[in-house]
Structure 1
Amino acid sequence: MAGLAKLRVDRGLLAVKLALLAGVLVLTNPGVGARMVFLATDNRLLTLLIFSGLWLCALAAMAAAAFHPRPGVRLLWAVPVSVAGAAAYGYHVAQGAEFFIYDLLNFWSARHEVGRAATFFANAIIPAVAVFAVSLLAFAMPPGFFSSAGGHWKRLAAIAPVAPILLIALVVLYRQGKGSEAMPKQFAPLALASLASYKINTAAFPERQPVRMSPGKPLSRAVVMIVDESIRADFINLTPGNALTPQMAAESRRWIDFGPAVSAGNCSNISNALLRFMARRDDLFHSVLTSPTVWQYARAAGFRTVYIDAQAGFIRVYGKLQNFMTPGEAVGIDRLHKLDSGRPAHALDDELVNLVLDELAAGDRVFIYANKNGAHFPYQDNAPPAFTPDPGADAAMEAGAPASYGRAISWSTDRTMARLVRESSNDDTTLIYTSDHGQHFSPNRLTHCSALGNVDPQEGIVPLMVATGDRSLQERFVAATRRIRGRASHFAIAPTLLELMGYSPADIAGIYTESLLDDIREPPRFVSGDIFGLFGQRPAWHDVDPAVQERRAKDMVSNAPPDGLGRGDAITQAPATPTP
């Protein structure tokens, strides 16, 4: 009787365990069937054979670990395998796709933003935790009939999961960062994380070149580079009466607008690194690693260098820098302001403007690079609760864009940039304003920083404007807008900065082929993923047509509400927050 009861218990445990494991596998690996169909119809039979063989290996390894008679071995693999499956599932809930090794590199670089990202993508956390719990339970359950397996099988089964992890890593390494699509999510994230960690810790980077050009007299005594956060071009409008940015529109005569432009990348770290490292898109990997930094060029031209980071308060590791900035680079900056004193997010850009104006007031030759907090997610944190934007702001928003995004732009960008351009418009100051990347508002997708096949063009659409009090510079910039409007990009900023600092246009032309003071012949495009050549020498470029965004902006203006709505005097500011 006792034996029959044990048999029933064993059968019950086996049935439950198999059901849980099967459920987790199906839930976390939704693209396997579609991938196999694609490989078969595309006549990639060898790839299909390798893909199928790797999946069989993964299933065998998972069964070996899950049904191991020793609880310690089951738990040893249960935790990492369950974390991997839960991470992949959570990312799929947030993005609607799977992540690749380039996403992991981006995540690692922006790991200080985990708190804000968790708040913004909170809807993906609970399902991911549920998947983790079910997976952990499925692995930890007793194996039933398999509890008395022999010793030789036990030793092999204990290390079996190493095989699919190693094989997936080898495939990705051979495919130069690709090849992990639809691979088993219980092992693929572990393989990608191991490979990314290896690359990050073993990659050897060359030393940067010294500045070889000889500077002359600068075109501006002060050069200011403002890089906003998560601002898409069609939400910045210089047309009087618009609802989202009426204060910037009130200063429209000070702005020289290059129209919707294209960012260097679709991720904060990528764009800021490419801007600071003076990268060229015709030689991306070499230039981003070896070109003199913007600080080196500025110092060589006799400029004092200043960096202002309005997002530093969200970096929880002491001394941690962001956007691929290293301590070695920071040492080359004369004054570094990190706004980490516990200010609320909606007060950060006001303080940034105060610092820029203070640095300009010193009266010396100065180059300032400032990262705004802008509309960083979660959007609702970037405007005080008492702030009431123009009543027509919601109507002017694109379908699908949250109202909190428009409030963030009206508070953190419209007010602050209007004040900055108004109070810094001197004959000896030139200000360049842009954003690090755009935003994509489709449901169940990342707003930006996507990689490989998941990238949306809207992630790379940004504003690009210049303000200067120098009449001759104004005329040159205005003339350039007539030639290159709709083709401007971040890659034209580096040579523009060099000429403003006093470097010879002839010397600059020997390195760069485009400039906001001259011409741009190449169609705009941005890069995603690996910008350092860790997995290959072919950047992932994405062509963009900014004219699409410009048409959308005009539609927003034409649909503005009547009866005076959309005027700057309709804005009410929160009394407790610093105002200009």
Structure 2
Amino acid sequence: MINKKKPWIKARWIGVALLLFATGYLTLNYRILVVGVLYRWAADDQFNAIWNLVSYASQGLLLFLVIGSISGWAFRSVLLLVFISGTVNLVYQSILYDLINLSTFQWMLAESRQSLSALKEFYKDFIWGVTRAGIAVGLFTLTRKAIKYAVFSKMAPHPENAPILTIVVLMIFLAADPALKALGRDRGAEMNVYGMAYQTMTEEIPNRMPASVKPDFKPSANKIIWLIDESISWRYYDEMFRSEWVSRWGGIDFGEARSLGNCSAQSNAALRWGVNVSKLNASTDLRTNSTVWAYAKQAGFRTILMDGQVHGNPQNYLWPPEKRLIDEVVPMAAGLDSDLKIARRLNGLLKADGRHFAYIVLKGAHYQYFSNYPDGNLDRSLPIEEQYRKALRYSKGNFLNELLDGVNMRNVVIFYTSDHGQHLGNGVIPHCNNKPHPEELSVPLILFTDPDLRNQFQRNDGEIRSHSQIFPTTLLLMGYAAEYASREYDNPLPTTSKRIVRFGKRIFPSTNADSIEFFFDDSN
């Protein structure tokens, strides 16, 4: 029978339940509420401030009803989902001081191979996020106990014995995500990760356009290699390697260049997909572009991807439709010596017959830097810059020796750059910041080829080049017309870029209503 306690006692426990729940909900959603409500109000956007408040209040009320009404197994399942989703939100906020959304969620998936490195580097933020999510879940558990104490006696039937009620409430709870999306509102931290995961899994990837033209000329190179290193800053490359690479190996150094992004996934994707820097706008979807693979195959090249950072499937937004254009995909992760292993394999490819285009993702020197060279754990207390120099020296000190040993450079062109640079310092995030430090975008750009081709690329004007110029330059080498390459993409090297561009984390639209995130640097 229903609890016979006096009404004021029952109300007191309901009040305790609401207080416990509100504390837990704020623990998960404090920053979301501040940004969505207080910031909107301060920006004189009262309409969205009020609607966001109503939205999050409704979501909170729904979660409160779920906590108080569903059966035990369902309650434990919901708490687990809330804990995981809340942890992802809170850790992301702690590291990048921003809110997670669909684009940043997809970026995190694309960067998942670096999750262990991120955990080691930002373990305090991970611990703090897990702790806060755990506190919220604990408060929700106490909320349920307070509700049960206020409303039900030991003899009374509890919703745990009402499976139909449990199913109905859970369906309403899970249906909130698509309903809110239809209204243009976001879910709270307690469940938004699952909504974003569902959107990612069900999102249709648009078809890519085939290479719309054929080469006008015979390729001027039979071997074209893109070496995309990891986390190599121009300043340290200039200090440690540039002089030898130019004098000993005949490299054509284009000086400090700008990367297409300060995160690996965006930078690598934009390099492969090509960017028309003149026509780029908020609705541009690079996923429909003809890829470098399509142009290479049209020109009679065998296409190869080697990735020194993975053991299995490719990364950096390389989905099955694009992967099918690649003749050979080779995971090359081999610990500290991944880059030397790649250099030796490429050495054999450069000596083989036939036309080959190879896109190489090197292991490089991602943080934690001391983990990129032998016995680096002994150097944990060394200054960050010293650790970074040691990592670079081990990664690239003998790389060209292995790569070019005995290679006849006739009809060979090798581009070397990095996905992004590094901003070094104690207590700073080295790359992937939402407002990047200039050094995060500062990368080397050097080209190795035979003397007959070298004269075409000499430059001494000191202007900054861009990642976006590698694609059209490659098209020229494959035999495509210069007018086409320049019109559809950017100016080929060695001329300067039409417009230096970089992408944020939102490199492609997630829905028809979304826009991409890009920035022009007109100072160069």
Partner of 1:184: 188
State the one-letter code of the partner of 1:463. P
Q: Is the 8 A contact 1:106 1:449 kept in 2?
A: no
Please state if 1:470 is matched with 2:451: yes
> Amino acid of the residue matched to residue 470 of structure 1?
P
Distance 1:232 1:7, change over 3 A: farther
Of residues 461, 486, 494, the one that matches 1:482 is: 461
Pair 1:333 & 2:333 matched = no
Q: Deviations over 1:252-274 (max 9, x none)?
A: 33232222222223332222222
The one-letter amino acid of 1:62's match is L
In the alignment of these two chains, the number of paired residues is 503
Q: Partner of 1:311: helix, strand, or coil? A: coil
For the pair 1:500 / 2:493, whether they are aligned, the reply is no
SS in 2 for 1:312: coil
Tell me which amino acid in the other structure corresponds to 1:260.
E
Asked whether the equivalents of residues 110 and 323 of structure 1 are also in contact (C-alpha less than 8 Å), the reply is yes
d(CA) in 2 for partners of 1:158, 1:297? 50
Q: Give the CA deviation at 1:386.
A: 6.8
Structure 1 pair 159–291 and aligned structure 2 pair: CA distance change class (3 A): closer
Q: SS of the residue aligned with 2:370?
A: helix
In the TM superposition, what is the alpha-carbon distance from 1:370 to its structure 2 partner?
Answer: 1.0
| Superposition deviation, residue 68 in structure 1 | 2.8
Q: Please report how far the alpha carbon of residue 510 of structure 1 lies from its aligned counterpart in structure 2 after TM superposition.
A: 4.1
SS in 1 for 2:414: strand
Question: What amino acid is the match of 2:399?
Answer: T
CA 1:197–1:37: 2 relative to 1, 3 Å: same
AA partner of residue 529 (structure 1):
K
The corresponding residue for 1:24 is 24
- In structure 2, relative to structure 1, the CA distance for the partners of 1:7 and 1:128 (3 Å cut) is farther
Structure 2 gaps of 5+ residues are: none
Tell me the distance in 2 between the aligned counterparts of 1:442 and 1:110.
Answer: 22
Residue 323 of structure 1, aligned match among 316, 323, 330: 316
Task: Check the 8 A contact 1:309/1:339 in 2, yes or no.
Answer: yes
- Change in 2 beyond 3 A, CA 1:506/1:164: closer
Offset of residue 373 of structure 1: 0.6
- Aligned counterparts, 1:129-528, within 5 A: 129-141=130-142, 142=145, 143=147, 144-147=149-152, 161-162=173-174, 165-171=177-183, 174=184, 180=186, 184-199=188-203, 203-237=204-238, 242=239, 245=240, 247-253=241-247, 254-283=250-279, 288-313=286-311, 315=312, 320-340=313-333, 343-344=334-335, 346-385=336-375, 401=384, 403-417=386-400, 420=403, 424=407, 426-441=409-424, 447-449=430-432, 456-471=437-452, 473-479=453-459, 482=461, 485-486=463-464, 488-522=465-499, 524-528=500-504
From the superposition, tell whether residues 26 and 538 of structure 1 become closer, same or farther in structure 2 (CA, over 3 Å): closer
> In 2, Cα distance between the equivalents of 1:282 and 1:421?
37
Question: Against the structure 1 CA distance between its residues 446 and 163, is the aligned structure 2 distance closer, same or farther, given a 3 Å change threshold?
Answer: farther
Q: Residues 260 and 502 of structure 2 are in contact (CA less than 8 Å); yes or no, is this contact kept in structure 1?
A: yes
What is the deviation of 1:458?
Answer: 4.1
* Distance in 2 between residues matched to 1:44 and 1:166, nearest whole Å: 24
Is the contact between residue 25 and residue 136 of structure 2 (CA under 8 Å) also seen in structure 1? no
Asked if 2 retains the 8 angstrom alpha-carbon contact of 1:71 and 1:140, the reply is no
The AA in structure 1 aligned to 2:124 is N
- Greater shift, 97-106 or 156-165, is seen at 156-165
Q: Distance in 2 between matches of 1:164 and 1:216?
A: 58
Report the residue type matching 1:475 in the other structure.
N
Counterparts of 1:402 and 1:497 in 2: how far apart (Å)? 34
CA contact (8 A) 2:351 2:407 kept: no
Residue aligned with 1:467, SS = strand
Shift of 1:351: 0.6
Distance in 2 separating the partners of 1:196 and 1:414: 40
Cα RMSD (Å):
3.7
Residues 154-209 of structure 1: per-residue CA shift (max 9 Å, x gap): 677655644653454335xx4xxxx65xx63224334333333332xxx1512431
Between the two proteins, what is the percent identity of the paired residues?
Answer: 21
Q: Give distance in 1, aligned partners of 2:174 and 2:330.
A: 46
Partners in 1 of 2:129 and 2:13 — Cα distance?
25
Change (3 A) 1:160 1:212: closer
**TM-score when scaled to structure 1?**
0.75
Q: Displacement of 1:369 after TM fit?
A: 1.7
SS of 1:466 mapped into structure 2: strand
Deviation at 1:432, TM superposition (A): 0.8
Aligned residue type for 2:264: S
Query: What's the CA shift string for 1:37-91, capped at 9, x where partnerless?
Result: 3322322111111111112212212322233374344324222222222221122
The question of whether the paired residues in 1 share the 8 Å contact of 2:23 and 2:136 is answered with no
What are the residue-to-residue correspondences of 1:496-575 with 2, within 5 Å? Answer: 496-522=473-499, 524-535=500-511, 536=513, 538-544=515-521
Query: Partners of 2:424 and 2:296 in 1: how far apart?
Result: 38
Kindly indicate whether the alpha-carbon contact (under 8 Å) linking 1:232 and 1:462 is maintained by their aligned counterparts in 2.
yes
Unpaired runs of at least 5, structure 1: 396-400, 548-580
In structure 1, how many angstroms separate the alpha carbons of the residues matched to 2:230 and 2:215?
34
Offset of residue 379 of structure 1: 2.7
For 1:75 and 1:424, how far apart are their aligned partners in 2? Answer: 62
Distance 1:537-1:13 versus aligned 2 partners, 3 A rule = closer
In structure 2, distance between residues paired with 1:304 and 1:147? 71
Amino acid at match of 2:269: A
CA contact (8 A) 1:498 1:508 kept: yes
User: Deviations for 1:482-520, whole angstroms, at most 9, x for unmatched residues?
Assistant: 27x22x211111110011122222343342341113342
- Give the letter for the 1:302 counterpart: G
Deviation at 1:419, TM superposition (A): 5.3
Structure-2-length-normalised TM-score: 0.83
Task: Specify the code of the residue in structure 2 equivalent to 1:145.
Answer: A
**CA 1:462 to 1:20, structure 2 compared with 1: closer, same or farther past 3 Å?**
farther
Counterpart CA distance in 2 for 1:329 and 1:37 is 43
Distance 2:341 2:132 in 1: 43
| The 10-residue stretch of structure 1 (361-370 or 538-547) with the greater mean CA deviation from structure 2 | 538-547
SS in 2 for 1:520: coil
Distance in 2 (alpha carbons) for counterparts of 1:26 and 1:402: 39
Give 1:62's aligned residue: 63
Distance 2:16 2:304 in 1: 62
Q: Which amino acid aligns with 1:542?
A: F
Question: Structure 1 residues 500, 432: closer, same or farther in 2, change over 3 A?
Answer: same
* Partner residue in 2 for 1:71: 72
**Aligned partners of 1:15 and 1:139: how far apart in 2?**
14
- Contact kept in structure 2, 1:223 and 1:367, CA below 8 Å: yes
**Alignment match, 1:94:** 95
How far apart, CA to CA, are the structure 1 residues paired with 2:236 and 2:461? 22
